[in-house]
Amino acid sequence: MSRLEKQRNILDYTLSSLLRRKGKNAALTLVFTLVVFMVASAVLFAQAVRREASLVLKDTPEIIVQRTVAGRQGLVPEAYVERIAAIRGVSAVRGRLWGYYFDDAFGGANYTLMVPDAFPYEPGTIVVGGEVARNSRTRVDNLLPFKAHDGTVRGYRIGEILPTESALVSADLILMTEPDFRSLFGIPAAEVTDIVLSVRNPQEIATIAHKIAALLPDTRPIVRDEILRTYDAVFAWRAGLLLAILAGSVAAFIIFAWDRATGLSAEERREIGILKAVGWETGDVLTMKFWEGAVVSLSSFLAGIALAYAHVFFASATLFEPVIKGWSVLYPDFRLTPSVNAPEMAALFFITVVPYTVATIVPSWRAATIDPDAVMRF
């Protein structure tokens, strides 16, 4: 006698029994797959976007220093750069120039304008992101008009369009030289939008942030990790929100599964009675019911996840995109990096398969304790 053989035999019978009632079981499996698909899509998408965001933020400077005037963001005097550079542990301090430009043509879009560290083109030329070009229906070598701070219109030649790989950050980006930027927005020479700095020792980041705040009381240092945390929390929160909404459908499915399991047809009842009459004991019938549940739930689980994977990573999660990514006119069309990890799968398992299994325990037991005695009297 071998335990393995026994399980194989019972599994064999279970499979044949499932196939004999194709209709009912197909419906159950289909609905289960759908539920897993929805939940898995939400989870996979949210995690993928979070990963993407953290990857993107990985190379940003550790601390950003902004200046607040009456609670709102103001320009920072360039002199602050040297004072910050004098703090021990700080490396690579520089001022940044950037801002927003609202273009009310073509449906209205908010562009981010920036002066990068190294700009290979001369004044008069700009580099734009993919969505900017698309939205303005323009291409390289064309002129893009801007309304300057003094009411005049300036035209800049498009020198280059940023590649789509960087879409998440560059979609709405426009890069230009410093003189162009200052003259477009009317920013005086001794001022910058904010200051960024790197810190050599990660343990020191918090201390240095405090020192800056103490040294320059009208500034607000922002630590990169705080940004990461905020994004993390937002995406996770949105995913959780989606799940909370889906909870209704998961609950409905569980009730359906329970109802299906409880409502044994007369034929099914007779079969189990016969099994018990010919020598299967309650434990054996419970094992059969367990295999039934396992086959249905595992195949639905795998199918649902596979479909969700395809949905998220090949179709860019068309169904859930707006909820997770947020609303905006300009949204880059980018491919998420496919990846799946064990905790996610475990979480999905606990949200779908576990409630299903629990719901079917009592119905399975009721089926398994059918009295064989009754069969004698049929």
Partner 1 sequence: MIEIVEVRKVFNAGRHNEYTALAGVSCSIASGQVTVFKGPSGSGKTTLLSIVGCMARPTSGRVVLAGRDITSLPERFLTEVRRRKFGFVFQQFNLIKGITALENVMLPAYPLGERRAALEARALGLFELLCIADRAREKAELLSGGEMQRVAIARALINTPETVIADEPTAHLDSRLSREFMEIVGRLKREGKTTIIASHDPLVYESEIVDRVISVRDGKIEPGDP
Partner 2 sequence: MILHPAIIALLTASVLTLLMVLAASFLGVRILGRWDLSSGSELQLELERRTYLISTILSHAFVFQLASLFLFVRTIDDLCTLFSGSMCAAGTLDANVYGYPALALKVATSLLAGVWLIVNYADNQACDYPLIRRKYRLLLAIAPLVVAEAGLSFAFFLGLKPDIITSCCGSLFSRDAANLASDIVALPAGPMMAALYAALALVFASGGFFLRTGRGGALFSTAAVTAAVLAVASIFSFLSLYIYELPTHHCPFCVLQREYGYVGYPLYAAILGGAIAGAGVGVLMPSRRIESLKDVVPALQRRLCVAALLCFALFAVLATYEILASNLTL
Residues binding partner 1 (CB under 8 A): 1-6, 8-10, 12-13, 16, 20, 267, 270-271, 274-275, 277-284, 372-373, 375-378
- Which of 121, 357, 372, 375: binder of partner 2 (CB under 8 A)? 357
How far lies 50's CA from each of 11, 53, 161, 225, in Å? 41, 5, 26, 14
CB atoms within 10 A of CB 363: 19
Position 43 contacts partner 2 (CB under 8 A): yes
Identify residue 370 by its one-letter amino acid code: I
71 binds, among partner 1, partner 2, none (CB under 5 to 8 A by kind): none
Q: Both ends of the chain: CA-CA distance in Å?
A: 33
Compute φ and ψ for 176, nearest 5 degrees: -150, 175
* Cα distance between residue 127 and residue 63, in whole Å: 26
Provide the mask over 239-268, with x wherever binding to partner 2 is found by CB under 8 A and - wherever it is not: xxx-xx------------------------
- Return the residues of window 202-241 that contact partner 2 according to CB under 8 A: 206, 223, 225-226, 228-230, 232-233, 236-237, 239-241
Q: What residues are paired with 69 via a beta bridge? A: 72
Nearest approach in angstroms of CB 327 to partner 2 is: 19
> Which of the choices partner 2, partner 1, none does residue 279 contact, using the CB cut-off of 5 to 8 A by kind?
partner 1
Q: Is 298 in the site for partner 2 (CB under 8 A)?
A: no
Residue closer to partner 2, measured from CB, 161 or 223: 223
**Phi/psi-derived region of residue 141, left when phi > 0, alpha when psi is between -120 and 50, beta in every other case:** left
| Residues in a beta bridge with 102 | 110
Are 253 and 360 in contact by the 8 Å Cβ rule? The answer is no
Q: Which two tokens stand for residue 285?
A: 């019938």
Do 334 and 168 contact (CB within 8 A), yes or no? yes
Rounded-to-integer distance, Cα 45 and Cα 311, Å:
9
**Minimum separation from the CB atom of position 22 to partner 1 (A):** 11
Compute the least distance from the CB of residue 37 to partner 2, in Å.
15
Q: How far is the CB of 368 from partner 1 (least distance, A)?
A: 11
Tell whether residue 342 is a contact of partner 2 (CB under 8 A). yes
Among the listed ranges 63-71, 82-90, 258-266, 352-360, the one in contact with partner 2 (CB under 8 A) is 352-360
Q: Which two tokens stand for residue 343?
A: 């905790």
d(CA 106, CA 66): 32
68, 226 contact by CB (below 8 A): no
Residue 237's binding partner, choosing from partner 2, partner 1, none, with beta-carbon cut-off 5 to 8 A by kind? partner 2
Which residues contact partner 2 (rule: CB under 8 A)?
42-43, 46-47, 206, 223, 225-226, 228-230, 232-233, 236-237, 239-241, 243-244, 282-283, 286, 342-344, 346-351, 354-355, 357-358, 361-362, 364-365, 368-369
